[in-house]
Amino acid sequence: MSHDTGDTRMKYRMNIFGLACAWGLGLLAGTASAAGALHVEETTTLDAPPAVVWQAIGTFSSLAWHPVVAQTQLTAGQDNKKGAVRKVTTRDGAVIVEKLQALDAGAHRMRYEIVESPLPVAHYVSTLSVQAAGKGSRITWKSDFDAVRSEAVDDAKAKDIVAGIYKAGFDGLREQLTSK
């Protein structure tokens, strides 16, 4: 078994969000500027069938499966309908506002954009999808965005932050589905 403990992973997750929040609040020195388009894609597999995984993650107004999220609130529109807006509050108090662009429950796929965020990203559009993989599922979370750079956050750091959010979500989803 890996020497990476749950406590270590949680500290890593909180450090990522802490850095992102500090950047967003202007606490880190530097002038922000837009960078070129970036792509992040993370994939994991789970032993649960796609329908079970989608049941856990396929509701736009709920990120209860993500360990860094304290609350998700629908603030506009109808849940799971194009144009719905959710306010995501993290455990450290950061607020991210996201708008649903598309959701196809039959294909187990949703696409959304970030409207407001302390994360060092702009023009962020993400897709979360679930496909069958043998007797289980393959979950893919990917995004395209422009990094907003500062002295503390370059393109690589912005990509690491986004990838860390996805990996933390996969860890939380795995934990939730295996505890049932």
Would residue 83 count as lying in a domain? Answer: yes
CB 129 within 8 A of CB 108: yes
72: number of Cβ within 10 Å:
18
- Is 179 in a helix, a strand, or coil? coil
| Domains contained in the chain, number | 1
111 and 84 Cβ atoms separated by less than 8 Å: no
pLDDT in tens, 93-109: 999 999 999 999 999 99
Helix (H, G, I), strand (E, B) or coil at 18: helix
Is 136 domain-assigned?
yes
Residue 10 lies in a domain: yes
Q: Quick one: what percent of the chain has pLDDT higher than 70?
A: 79
Residue 138 lies in domain = 6-178
pTM to 2 decimals? Answer: 0.81
What's the confidence (pLDDT) of residue 7?
56
User: Does residue 40 fall inside a structural domain?
Assistant: yes
pLDDT of residue 149: 85
- CATH assignment of the domain containing 24: 3.30.530.20
**Strand ranges in the chain using DSSP code E only, listed in sequence order:** 33-46, 69-76, 85-90, 95-104, 109-116, 121-133, 136-149
